[in-house]
């Protein structure tokens, strides 16, 4: 059966995506109009199919290949092959190694005190701002998550963490800027910023090299240490440098926006915020921050975070390329097709999420979760290319939320419009500004 979708246009579909304000919104509209499986035009893909039905998605969950064209903008950040599109035989051992560190409790516990200290620094800064106008959540919280992942990936061996953070921001601004800049603006692109980004990239690579040398000299094998594990596994230096860059890239904006969107929603739902703080007071008592073991007792906070990532998935979509023909319900997808994962449209599928636009954390009680198909909720993607950092991200986000919500009340700024746009992650166009006031005066 022919897959439904809009008639092809001469511009290859670019105009329709731009008119919608980005691929994620375009997908939402396409699925609303044509149903759960839609064929659409995507530059560089002969056949592109978007799937917003969690049951049909199962048929794609084994695919271990990403379409190169969609991720080629990340190639300059890698020296030993673009990690986003590594062939399956190279990707599988790399993934296993990454998971052995990122998904393990020892690595989360080991970095927890440092994560708490970094979060407390932000909270102290905000405490001084209380009464002096709103804070910019997205800016401060994405920077916090960059500091956290820096500490996580590079450990305490870095001489100048501030410079690492600045250099990484410079690299990202340039490379993501290239992706989102219009061609006309691209021509005006200043050579200076490109050169600055090259220098910043070289600096970061040199920093990683120094950490590698220190690990080798130390001779210690520590499975909770990312660089240590890569060295121990005999990875070549270029692949280690690439892995650190890619991990920082994947971890940084995503975790920061997850926390920002959650606080945004809580600011608009004071009754939910109240329940979160009740739980925090009950579990933490007078303590300002949770210990690692407390996190699993913060069950309502976790439900709130999950519901926030349903409504605002930090990474709004993913993609695969079929290596053989695939049956998708009543449709047949040819080999070499791009299968698009519209995470946002999946999370807004009213068949599984009644009144999908409503913020209802109770959707994530174990009983409710058990009623839904496995892939109805996929903020971290799925299958062999799904996010290796999901466990770490949840730990980081819950810790940050716990510290901030224990200490502050968040209120929206009247008249400030919070508008989601796609900028590699689901970003708020003009930040998320909120008034922050201490919960316990004094
Ligand atoms: C809330 C935070 C985060 C979200 C929502 C998120 C989401 C995602 C998504 C949607 C993908 C693509 C998955 C797919 O194609 O199926 C991805 C990939 C990835 N993420 Fe995350 N991520 C987060 C945090 C992190 C963190 C903290 C790390 C590492 C420390 C990380 C490391 C990675 C890596 C390495 C990949 C590439 C996976 C591969 O190609 O095998 N992410 N993430």
* pLDDT tens per residue, range 297-328: 999 999 999 999 999 999 988 999 999 999 99
Ligand 1, atom 37, lies closest to the CA of: 387
Alpha-carbon distance of 50 to 35, in angstroms, equals: 10
Q: Is residue 172 part of a domain?
A: yes
pLDDT for position 190: 56
Strand-pairing partners, residue 412, are 434
Res. 154: pLDDT tops 60:
yes
* CA dist 49 → 63, 176, 337 (Å): 14, 25, 7
Tokens of 354: 């009644």
Classify 313 as helix, strand or coil. coil
pLDDT for position 252: 86
CA-based end-to-end distance of the chain: 67
Alpha-carbon distance of 314 to 308, in angstroms, equals: 9
54-63, 110-119, 154-163: segment of lowest average pLDDT: 154-163
pLDDT range class, residue 73, cuts 50, 70, 90? confident
* CA dist 431 → 136, 142, 316 (Å): 6, 11, 17
Q: Are 254 and 315 in contact (CB under 8 A)?
A: yes
Q: Is residue 140 part of a domain?
A: yes
Alpha-carbon distance of 271 to 265, in angstroms, equals: 11
Residue-by-residue DSSP string for 416-432: ----EEEESEEEETT--
Cα 217 to averaged position of ligand 1 atoms, centre (Å): 31
* pLDDT tens per residue, range 320-353: 999 999 999 999 999 999 999 999 999 999 999 9
Q: Is residue 410 part of a domain?
A: yes
* CA dist 348 → 261, 356, 380, 405 (Å): 16, 5, 16, 27
What is the domain count for the chain? 1
Ligand 1 atom closest to 315 (CA): 10
* pLDDT tens per residue, range 202-216: 999 999 998 888 888
pLDDT for position 235: 92
Q: Are 152 and 226 in contact (CB under 8 A)?
A: yes
pLDDT-above-70 percentage for the chain: 95
Ligand 1, atom 15, lies closest to the CA of: 318
Cα 7 to averaged position of ligand 1 atoms, centre (Å): 33
Alpha-carbon distance of 297 to 293, in angstroms, equals: 8
Q: Is residue 366 part of a domain?
A: yes
Ligand 1 atom closest to 318 (CA): 15
Alpha-carbon distance of 21 to 423, in angstroms, equals: 11
User: Which residues are within 8 A (CB) of 99 and not within 5 positions of it... i.e. 6 or more apart?
Assistant: 388
113-117, 180-184, 202-206, 308-312: segment of lowest average pLDDT: 180-184
Bigger pLDDT: 431 vs 196: 431
Alpha-carbon distance of 264 to 260, in angstroms, equals: 6
Q: What is the widest separation between alpha-carbon atoms in the chain?
A: 67
Residue-by-residue DSSP string for 153-184: HHGGG-S-HHHHHHHHHHHHHHHHHHHHS-HH
Q: Is residue 8 part of a domain?
A: no
Strands 45-51 and 318-321 turn out to be unpaired
DSSP element (H, E) containing 146: helix 137-154
Cα 134 to averaged position of ligand 1 atoms, centre (Å): 30
Residue-by-residue DSSP string for 345-391: HHHT-TTTSSSTTS--GGGGSHHHHHHS-GGG--TT--GGGS-TTHH
Q: Is residue 109 part of a domain?
A: yes
Classify 292 as helix, strand or coil. helix
pLDDT for position 176: 74
pLDDT range class, residue 442, cuts 50, 70, 90? very low
DSSP element (H, E) containing 42: strand 37-42
Q: Are 322 and 54 in contact (CB under 8 A)?
A: no
Ligand 1, atom 8, lies closest to the CA of: 380
Kindly calculate the radius of gyration of the chain based on its CA atoms and give it in whole angstroms: 22
Alpha-carbon distance of 311 to 348, in angstroms, equals: 8
Ligand 1, atom 7, lies closest to the CA of: 380
pLDDT for position 358: 98
Mean pLDDT of 51-74: 94
pLDDT for position 441: 46
Q: Are 208 and 227 in contact (CB under 8 A)?
A: yes
Which structural domain, as residue segments, surrounds residue 134? 14-438
Q: 259: exposed, middle or buried (C-beta count within 10 Å: 0-12, 13-18, 19+)?
A: buried
Q: Where are the beta strands (DSSP E) in 245-378?
A: 318-321, 326-328, 331-333, 338-341
Strand-pairing partners, residue 427, are 421
Q: Are 130 and 436 in contact (CB under 8 A)?
A: yes
* pLDDT tens per residue, range 234-267: 999 999 999 999 999 899 899 999 999 999 999 9
Q: Are 147 and 125 in contact (CB under 8 A)?
A: no
Q: Are 243 and 225 in contact (CB under 8 A)?
A: no
Ligand 1 pocket at CB < 6 A: 84, 95, 102, 149, 246-247, 250-251, 254-255, 258, 314-315, 318, 379-382, 385-389, 392-393, 397
* pLDDT tens per residue, range 393-406: 999 999 999 999 99
Q: Is residue 373 part of a domain?
A: yes
CATH of residue 292: 1.10.630.10
Q: Is residue 3 part of a domain?
A: no
């Amino acid at each position: 059966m022919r897959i439904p979708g809009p008639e092809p246009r001469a511009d290859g579909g670019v105009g329709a995506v731009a008119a919608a304000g980005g691929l994620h919104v375009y997908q939402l509209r396409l699925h609303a109009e044509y149903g759960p499986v839609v064929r659409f035009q995507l530059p560089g893909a002969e056949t592109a199919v978007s799937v917003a039905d969690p049951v049909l998605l199962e048929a794609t969950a084994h695919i271990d290949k990403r379409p190169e064209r969609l991720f080629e903008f990340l190639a300059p950040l890698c020296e030993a092959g673009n990690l986003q599109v590594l062939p399956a035989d190279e990707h599988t051992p790399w993934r296993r190694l990454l998971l052995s560190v990122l998904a393990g409790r020892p690595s989360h516990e080991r970095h927890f005190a440092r994560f708490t200290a970094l979060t407390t620094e932000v909270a102290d800064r905000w405490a001084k701002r209380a009464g002096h106008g709103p804070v910019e959540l997205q800016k401060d919280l994405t920077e916090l998550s960059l500091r956290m992942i820096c500490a996580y990936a590079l450990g305490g061996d870095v001489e100048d963490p501030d410079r690492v953070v600045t250099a990484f921001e410079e690299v990202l601004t340039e490379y993501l800027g290239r992706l989102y800049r219009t061609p006309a603006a691209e021509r005006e692109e200043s050579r200076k910023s490109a050169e600055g980004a090259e220098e910043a990239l070289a600096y970061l690579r040199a920093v990683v090299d120094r950490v590698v040398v220190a690990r080798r000299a130390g001779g210690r094998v520590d499975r909770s240490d990312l660089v240590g594990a890569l060295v121990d596994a005999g990875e070549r230096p270029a692949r280690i440098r690439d892995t650190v860059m890619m991990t920082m890239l994947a971890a940084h904006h995503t975790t920061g926006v997850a926390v920002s969107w959650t606080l945004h929603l809580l600011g608009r739902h004071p009754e939910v915020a109240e329940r979160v703080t009740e739980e925090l007071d009950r579990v933490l008592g007078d303590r300002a921050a949770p210990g690692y073991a407390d996190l699993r007792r913060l069950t309502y906070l976790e439900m709130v975070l999950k519901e926030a990532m349903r409504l605002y998935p930090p990474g709004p979509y993913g993609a695969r390329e079929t290596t053989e023909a695939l049956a998708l319900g009543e449709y047949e997808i040819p080999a070499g097709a791009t299968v698009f994962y519209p995470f946002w449209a999946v999370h807004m599928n009213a068949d599984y999420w009644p009144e999908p636009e409503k913020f209802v954390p109770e959707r994530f009680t174990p009983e409710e979760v058990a009623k839904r198909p496995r892939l109805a909720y996929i903020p971290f993607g799925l299958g062999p290319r799904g996010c290796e950092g999901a466990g770490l991200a949840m730990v980081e986000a819950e810790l940050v939320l716990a510290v901030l919500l224990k200490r502050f009340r968040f209120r929206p700024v009247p008249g400030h419009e919070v508008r989601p746009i796609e900028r590699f992650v689901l970003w708020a166009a003009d930040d998320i500004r909120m008034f922050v006031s201490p919960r316990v005066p004094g």
